[in-house]
Amino acid sequence: MIEAVGLTKRYGDKTAVDDLSFQVRPGAVTGFLGPNGSGKSTTMRMILGLDNPTRGTVTIGGYPYRRLPNAPRQVGALLDAKAVHGGRSARNHLLCLAQLSGIPARRVDEVLGVVGLYEVAKKRSKGFSLGMGQRLGIAAALLGDPQVLLFDEPVNGLDPEGILWVRNLMKSLAAEGRTVFVSSHLMSEMALTADHLIVIGRGRLLADMSVKDFIAANSAGFARVRTPDTEPQQREKLTSALTEAGGHVLPEQDGALRVTGLPMHRISDLAHEADVRLWELSPHQASLEEAYMRMTQAAVDYRSSTDQKAGLMRPLPPGAVPPVPVPGQGQPGWYAPPPPQQDGRPPAPDPYGAPGTEQPGPHGAPGAGAPNPYAQDTPQTPQAPTRSGTAPQGPAATPAAPPTAPAAPAGQTAAAPQAAPASDSVKPEDAR
């Protein structure tokens, strides 16, 4: 178990960690979250004895790291995957670490197989990709078969298969009763991997609870309600009934309603009493990312701003209409509106459309025969006529010329492009 009591670290007048106290228990994956500059890496360095705390203590199994007998056999860590001599091969790097810690050489080949680097074990690490470097760092952490493991951004640079492998590895290590402490900025991955969360901001403890409790404490669930799109009066009638019953109703961009303050069964009863048909009534809960953003919004030191593009904006062409900002865009709960109709075609079918209409396919893709709402129209250009006077059909059509010709330099006259016969080849001098 890792235990920190009153842990404080100052660098001059800068306080990186401020009176931090927590416990990381065995048998669970504990996520360590916080904005950039919140003190996560400093805390991990103090746990491993790389930095001395200004005040307070941090112990592993009741002892400071530096007093642990043969610490590499008890604690494994990945803090910086680039902390490797680039001229050494992966196997020689691990073999050096094993010899320093009294670990048998055969263990090196075992961990190389575990992380998937056995085939490249003799290659120099300077030629490794970012993901391969991460795998080598994880192999070094597993080398001594330790009971306590610390990982700082372990999935950085890994492909989807590697991320899944790390996720399963963390869970399996915790299931064996080991202490697993993982720092990451990927909220979606933490939601799938971690059992417990420790969240800090500006060096101070913000939360120490399970993932489920963290989401419940920092977000509000809501019910999504949808009435027939062809009958807006029913939506208005339902909104009035829910408001009178004490609910809070917010319209969504797609015409649905977001309802808070009323349980699901009460919403259903009120809709029935008001004689309103429902096309959707579903519960929704915030994600870990939303709950984390709400918790840490006051503890962020580095905030981005809107790019004004001063001096880089091109003037609009004559007659062009400037884009109109979408109300509510960028606010919590905002959804992008559907793309506008083009060329008189009807828009893509609504995922919550009437029964019998085409529904989206798996993973949100449009079903068979449904137009893709995100597809862009291919510009149609006139094609050169054939000798018979008819345009070629199908894929054998002559490639279309660019829609517009570049402007001619001053003092020169641009020549109009001419279509060549379909069966005759055009020589370069003829094209000029």
Q: Tell me the pairing of strands 204-210 and 222-226.
A: unpaired
Predicted confidence (pLDDT) at residue 254 exceeds the cutoff of 60: yes
Which percentage of the chain shows pLDDT scores above 70? Answer: 74
Q: What's the confidence (pLDDT) of residue 323?
A: 65
Residue 24, beta-bridge partner list? 2
How many whole angstroms separate alpha carbon 195 and alpha carbon 33?
13
Model-level pTM greater than 0.75? no
Q: Show the DSSP H helices in 254-387 as ranges.
A: 264-273, 288-296
**What is the torsional sign of CA 112, 118, 123, 127?**
negative
State the number of CA atoms in the 13 A half-sphere of 186 facing the CB: 16
pLDDT digits (tens, 9 = 90+) for 48-60: 999 999 999 999 9
Of 198-212, 264-278, 363-377, the range with the lowest mean pLDDT is 363-377
CB of 193 closer than 8 Å to CB of 158: no
Return the beta strands (E) in 153-297 as ranges.
Answer: 179-183, 196-201, 204-210, 222-226, 248-251, 257-260, 280-284
CB of 31 closer than 8 Å to CB of 291: no
Cβ–Cβ contacts within 10 Å for residue 27, how many?
13
The DSSP element (H or E) to which 32 belongs, if any, is: strand 28-33
Q: What's the confidence (pLDDT) of residue 98?
A: 93
Q: What's the confidence (pLDDT) of residue 305?
A: 76
Say which residues have a Cβ less than 8 Å from residue 278's Cβ, sequence separation at least 6.
225, 226, 227, 268, 271
pLDDT digits (tens, 9 = 90+) for 380-423: 444 444 444 444 444 444 444 444 444 444 444 444 444 444 44
Return the beta strands (E) in 308-400 as ranges.
Answer: none
**Polymer length in residues for the chain:** 432
Say which amino acid occupies 392.
P
What is the 8-class DSSP label of residue 66?
Answer: G
pLDDT digits (tens, 9 = 90+) for 129-174: 999 999 999 999 999 999 999 999 999 889 999 999 999 999 999 9
pLDDT digits (tens, 9 = 90+) for 284-323: 888 898 888 888 888 887 777 777 776 777 777 887 777 6
Nearest to 79 by CA among 43, 36, 121, 115: 43
Query: Mean pLDDT across the chain, nearest whole number?
Result: 80
Return the beta strands (E) in 202-279 as ranges.
Answer: 204-210, 222-226, 248-251, 257-260
CB of 186 closer than 8 Å to CB of 98: no
How many whole angstroms separate alpha carbon 350 and alpha carbon 352?
5
CB of 226 closer than 8 Å to CB of 352: yes
Predicted confidence (pLDDT) at residue 363 exceeds the cutoff of 70: no
For the segment 211-240, the average pLDDT, to the nearest whole number, is 90
Residue 208, beta-bridge partner list? 198
CB of 263 closer than 8 Å to CB of 222: no
Output b/e per residue, 386-412; b: 16+ Cβ within 10 A.
eeeeeeeeeeeeeeeeeeeeeeeeeee
Nearest to 76 by CA among 147, 1, 132: 147
The DSSP element (H or E) to which 18 belongs, if any, is: strand 14-24
CB of 78 closer than 8 Å to CB of 140: yes
Q: What's the confidence (pLDDT) of residue 324?
A: 58
Domains of the chain are 2-210 (3.40.50.300), 218-293 (3.30.70.100)
State the number of CA atoms in the 13 A half-sphere of 205 facing the CB: 15
How many whole angstroms separate alpha carbon 43 and alpha carbon 35?
14
Strand order in the sheet with 55-60: 14-24, 2-11, 55-60
430 three-state secondary structure:
helix
Q: What's the confidence (pLDDT) of residue 217?
A: 86
How many whole angstroms separate alpha carbon 83 and alpha carbon 172?
26
